Amino acid sequence: MDSILVKGGGALQGQIPIAGAKNACLALMPATLLSEEPLTLTNAPRLSDIRTMTQLLGSLGAEATSLQDGLVLALSSHGAINTRADYDIVRKMRASNLVLGPLLAREGHAEVSLPGGCAIGARPMDIHTDGLAKMGADIELRDGYLHAKAQGGHLKGAVIDFPFASVGATENIMMAATLAKGTTVINNAAREPEIVDLATCLRAMGAQIDGDGTSRIEIQGVDRLHGATHRVVTDRIELGTYMLAPALCGGEVECLGGRIDLLEAFCEKLDAAGIAVTETDKGLKVARKNGRIRAVDVTTAPFPGFPTDLQAQMMALLCTAEGTSVLEEKIFENRFMHAPELIRMGADIEVHGGHATVKGVQKLKGAPVMATDLRASISLILAGMAAEGETKVARVYHLDRGYEHVVAKLSGVGANIERIKES
């Protein structure tokens, strides 16, 4: 099992190219099941989760080819479709559940295993299945599989009121509704950029969708969708992560492809903490304004709020801020598992339920630490880059699910970092 070895010290300087969004691409790829014509995705991220989704689509009868060193995905579902998504693949990644809506819409039935993913708390499928049930699907859980069948062989439009703004459920219902009979309205829909990106792609395929980016999305079902070429939106979580690198270590880094509108709430917190974010022709330039970082309070929230996927990285920054910060996690439980590892590095953190109180210290100290999930992995690497001495981050297999070429990107701006192959 690989580890990442980081030696702290030294300001960063240079440019970091930001990849296409993992969470957007994982929703875009199942859209190929909605059409018999080719779907081409450009600016695709090169990640293990993308390979898992490629494997899943292949098991369903779709063709998925990686081109241009993985930056382009050529997808096609022109042949016979298998409607059973097996546990052996689905268990590896929660986003596998996004094949449920497209399979139901195209074939009228599906068997999809309950999904897996990071151990950051319960993320039930009820909101997905309740929405599909309103569209005329009979769904039963048997032997760990969701057995779904559309009444009369096809889904019907419906008004669906989500109890909370679920990104995955919004994506699943949107895709299912494109081929349903009639009009579907999603109230309390998720507003994330990844939702807008999926809607943009589906419209390019011939879908009739209005309201994406707002809490009310309306989809008028059509008889068929056609092929399209679509560029995956910039990964706002990778962007935010690398924006924090010069904030922690000093120096100035330009994040190529970055846009403030993807991370407005995050950028506001950086400004309050004493970090300057400047738009350039190529992206976003980030540097400390002057002196030590100031403490800020952070509460995670659905978009356009502060992203839960940047909470761990922000905690790493606030460990050395001047003053006391309070972080409140309101999206997932069990998402402060990185706190004990940061404490091993000298951080002063107290966790009580969904709140973490961080008292800034002058300097973190390098230590052996263990990653518990994807975002915790990168937060510990960032902390190690700013710490005195050497930090060894174990169990970094999580990283490959969400960050491509981490070592190359960070060493390219001056970080002392290497990946160690463990026997």
Percent share of the chain, pLDDT over 90 = 87
DSSP 293-314: PBP--EEB-STTSB-GGGHHHH
- Residue range 379-395: average pLDDT? 97
**In the predicted model, is pLDDT for residue 402 greater than 90?**
no
Residues that are catalytic: 118
State pLDDT tens for residues 336-378.
Answer: 999 999 999 999 999 999 999 999 999 999 999 999 888 899 9
Per-residue pLDDT tens for 372-381?
Answer: 888 899 999 9
Which residue from 229, 219, 221, 134 is spatially nearest to 171, judged by alpha carbons?
219
Element of type H or E holding 112: strand 109-113
| pLDDT computed for residue 170 by the predictor | 98
Query: In angstroms, rounded to a whole number, what is the distance separating the alpha carbons of residues 291 and 297?
Result: 19
Residue 38: is its pLDDT beyond 60? Answer: yes
Q: Output the pTM of the full model.
A: 0.92
pLDDT at 240: 98
Give the residue-averaged pLDDT of 223-227: 97
Given pLDDT bands bounded at 50, 70 and 90, which one contains residue 81?
A: very high
- Assess whether pLDDT exceeds 80 at residue 422: no
